[in-house]
Structure 1
Amino acid sequence: MSTIIVSALFTAVWVAITGSASFHNLAFGFLLATLCLWIVRDEIGGRGYWKRFGRILSLCLLFLKELALSAWKVAVMVVSPRMDLKPGIFAFPLTVDRDFEITLLANLITLTPGTLSVDVSADRKTLFVHAIDCSDIEATRRDIAEGFERKIMEAFR
């Protein structure tokens, strides 16, 4: 697709968001869209762009699945008459090493009910996670490593 067409589409989105279709706002939206497309010009049009888009979409779908499953597990724990929980904090060894990837992983863990990212070690090799139930820490570590962490590395490397 031509860059001008994509810039025009982004301009239409800009106008819809700002709520103003004045000439100045249209021109600013078009210039902003063109600048953004120029910044990511190496990614657009190549097969890598669409592959990355699919992998990011896969990460989003995994998050939605994990969100639903975790919400269900926490809801079942809360309404059960006998809560046999072992809350605690465990260390998760990080495979991701970029600041963006670590931040994204920590946020995905925090947004999932029942877990909370507490801290990252100074050397950025360990993430400390609080879990509502630490009865099987190895399974939780494996789920994070084979789920969120693997998908993040696929999408952003």
Structure 2
Amino acid sequence: MIKNFLMNLLLAGIWIALTGSLFYTNFLFGFMMGFLILWIMNRNETDQRYFYRVPKIIGFAFYFLYEILKANVQVAFDVITPKYFFKPGIVKYPMAAKTDFEITLLTTMISLTPGTLIVDISDDKKTIYIHVMYLSDPDAFVRQTQTGLERRLLAILR
């Protein structure tokens, strides 16, 4: 998998050298073309993890950006209006993440979203306690986090 990623970066670098323009859009185009070339060349090999994970990583990045923008707009709207709309609360969140690396990434992603903060992780590493600034329905928050952020993150890592 690392070999394919490094080869993809090399192909993107070759594309930039051939076109002579060092812009991020040109790099992204070269990366996509390199990904397509590698996928065509390696479609009969047994290890196809790289070709399944790259689209999932891109989808996760767009999803996480959307969630951050949505939370920022909600917090900014609350700050600039004279009335406060927040309803803070602490949620007990059961995790599907098992390893320390998965738990660390999940808690970091949750904490990076404005309006949320990780308070504690249980000793058995099965639940985390999250302080949520806008908590109208705790069950809906848990469901949304499980089906959105955690499911996408674990799909990349496993």
The residue aligned with 1:70 is: 71
Gap runs ≥5 in structure 1? 13-43
- CA separation of 1:73/1:88 partners in 2, compared to 1, >3 Å: closer, same or farther? same
RMSD: 2.6
Deviation at 1:85, TM superposition (A): 2.3
* 1:53 counterpart letter in structure 2: V
Deviates more, 1:72-81 or 1:142-151: 72-81
The residue aligned with 1:90 is: 91
The residue aligned with 2:51 is: 50
Q: Distance in 1 between matches of 2:63 and 2:126?
A: 24
Gap runs ≥5 in structure 2? 14-44
Displaced runs of 4 or more, over 6 A: none
CA deviations over 1:33-73 (Å, ceiling 9, x no partner): xxxxxxxxxxx983211101211222111111101111011
CA deviations over 1:72-104 (Å, ceiling 9, x no partner): 111111122211322122111111111111111
* 1:70 counterpart letter in structure 2: A
The residue aligned with 1:106 is: 107
User: Residues 136-151 of structure 1 correspond to what in structure 2 (within 5 A)?
Assistant: 136-151=137-152
The residue aligned with 2:62 is: 61
- CA separation of 1:84/1:71 partners in 2, compared to 1, >3 Å: closer, same or farther? closer
Higher relative contact order (CA 8 A, sep 6+): 1
Determine helix, strand or coil for the equivalent of 1:118. Answer: strand
How many percent of aligned residue pairs carry the same amino acid?
Answer: 37
Q: Distance in 2 between matches of 1:70 and 1:152?
A: 19
Determine helix, strand or coil for the equivalent of 2:123. Answer: coil
CA deviations over 1:117-144 (Å, ceiling 9, x no partner): 1221110100111111222211211111
Deviates more, 1:52-61 or 1:146-155: 52-61
Q: Distance in 2 between matches of 1:52 and 1:101?
A: 16
Q: Distance in 2 between matches of 1:118 and 1:128?
A: 5
